Amino acid sequence: MTPEQTPAQRLVGDFAPKLAELTDDVLFGDVWARSELSPRDRSLVTCAALVTNGSTEQLRSHLVLGKRNGLTETELKEAIIHLAFYAGWPRAMSAMLVAKEVFAADSR
């Protein structure tokens, strides 16, 4: 029986195993595990950074993780609306379209 692969291993493990390893061990194994910020707060900061950078591909999974970490859809949408004035309207609109898809999939 093959052990369950992490999301990073599924995404790039066959192509860039070191990046998957660093993602699993350093980012999620160390940085996300630090007690100085709650997982909820880390999710909000991460989603905000991804919206600001226009990283909508990564935003998709972090919106799901944010909900799992205690953020509500309303809070996540409000963060995107707030960021429209700091990160730019096109980035906020793109992020909101991703959020709309993610939240619609959650409600099915």
**Domains of the chain, earliest start first:** 7-36 (no CATH), 37-108 (1.20.1290.10)
What integer is the mean pLDDT of 60-89? 98
What integer is the mean pLDDT of 16-30? 97
Burial (0-12, 13-18, 19+ Cβ within 10 Å), 63: buried
d(CA 51, CA 8): 20
**Which percentage of the chain shows pLDDT scores above 90?**
94
The whole-number pLDDT of residue 40 equals: 98
Overall residue count recorded for the chain in this entry: 108
Whether 79 contacts 51, CB under 8 Å = yes
Q: At residue 74, does pLDDT exceed 70?
A: yes
Q: Give the residue carrying structure tokens 């963060």.
A: 79
The whole-number pLDDT of residue 2 equals: 59
Q: Give the residue carrying structure tokens 């707060």.
A: 41
What integer is the mean pLDDT of 26-47? 97
What integer is the mean pLDDT of 29-48? 98
| pTM (two decimals) | 0.90
pLDDT tens sequence across 61-73 = 999 999 999 999 9
> Which own/partner pairs from 83-89 qualify as long-range (CB within 8 Å, at least 24 positions apart)?
83/48, 83/51, 83/52, 86/52, 87/51, 87/52, 87/54
d(CA 53, CA 12): 21
Helix (H) or strand (E) holding 107: none
How much is the mean pLDDT over the chain?
A: 95
